[in-house]
Structure 1
Amino acid sequence: MLNARATPPVWFWVVAALLLLWGLAGIASFWMHLTYNPDDPANAAYDRQLYRSLPGWLNWVYAVAVGGGLLGAAALLMRHRAAVPLTIASLIAIVIQFGWTLGMTDLIAAKGFATAAGFPIFIFAMGLLGAWTARTARARGWIG
């Protein structure tokens, strides 16, 4: 017996493709984070100090955030059910990553709320979009 899946609408493909591009940008950002040189005097003193203060486990959380998002988007495009847990894992990692960074450092006090939290809020919104798209696709039978 064939396991027929419903055909997704065009917006699904557009969102999944945009999420894949977003995931690739996240991987590039992660790479820049890993290769950041806190000893480079060209970097702002506060940024160098902040980078040095970050716990090592936060790199793993960052990796789950961007890796889960990228793999989740790829799973969406392949119409694979793994998109749901991958995008949810990414969203959870985003919350942990920025929850710790914004809540356990003086980043907001040093740079202001809009500068410190503006882009992380957008990143969280993109994580929500990925998880929502995956769950919606699963519920509507667009992914296996």
Structure 2
Amino acid sequence: MSEQKTKKPPLWFWIVSILALLWNLMGVLAYLGQAYMTDEMKSEYSQEQLSLMESTPAWITAVFAIAVWGGLLGCIALILRKKWAKPVLLLSFFAIVIQMGYSFFMTNASEVYGAVQGIITPILVILIGAVLVQFANIGIKRTWLR
């Protein structure tokens, strides 16, 4: 069985991969900010926002962690041109869908945070997660990833 030779990816592959890495780093920072929130940070939120955050089940926080750390690892794999970027990004995407599904259907996040932070941003996160899975798939099909 012969190993398929990988091709050199175009410049736009690197641009998208680096932007995706930066996007996922922002997600990691959001997770860390929520997981290690200080009293000073809590003072910046309304009582409704704090109540919503504090009522979030531990399993959703774990799903959030899987989403952001998986996304970060998947984007690192893209930059390293590794095929395993796809399953890691797929895992991250499923975690995003679960997390945002909980937010949309099990909480009043859209009322508490408003339309932008409660609806538009979560939809954008879902879309970017899906696009990154497809991006990895394209990289595999075009033999940019090995």
Q: Kindly provide the CA deviation profile for residues 66-96 of structure 1, in whole angstroms up to 9, marking residues without a partner as x.
A: 1111111110110111100011111111100
* Aligned match of 2:71: 69
Given residue 102 of structure 2, which amino acid in structure 1 is its aligned partner?
Answer: W
Aligned CA RMSD, in angstroms, stands at 1.9
What secondary structure, in the 3-state scheme, does the structure 2 residue paired with 1:72 have?
helix
1:1-144 to structure 2, matched below 5 A, reads 3-37=4-38, 40-144=42-146
Where does the alignment leave 5 or more consecutive residues of structure 2 unmatched? none
- How many residue pairs are counted as aligned between the two chains? 144
Deviation at 1:54, TM superposition (A): 0.6
Amino acid at match of 2:108: D
Q: Distance in 2 between matches of 1:128 and 1:109?
A: 26
Q: Give me the whole-angstrom Cα distance separating, in 2, the residues matched to 1:140 and 1:97.
A: 32
Where does structure 1 differ by over 3 angstroms across 4 or more consecutive aligned residues? 37-42, 109-115
The more displaced of 30-39 and 48-57 is: 30-39
**Structure 1: gaps (5+ residues):** none
SS in 2 for 1:54: coil
Shift of 1:110: 3.8
Q: In 2, are the aligned partners of 1:38 and 1:51 still within 8 Å (CA)?
A: no
Q: 1:38 Cα shift?
A: 7.3
CA distance in 2, matches of 1:30, 1:111: 17
Distance 1:30 1:127 in 2: 16
State the Cα distance separating 1:32 from its structure 2 match.
0.4
Q: TM-score, normalising length from structure 2?
A: 0.89
Contact 1:38 1:52 in 2 (8 A): no
Deviations along 1:8-38, whole A, 9 cap, x unmatched? 1111111001111111111111100102257
Amino acid aligned to 2:121: F
Alignment identity in percent? Answer: 32
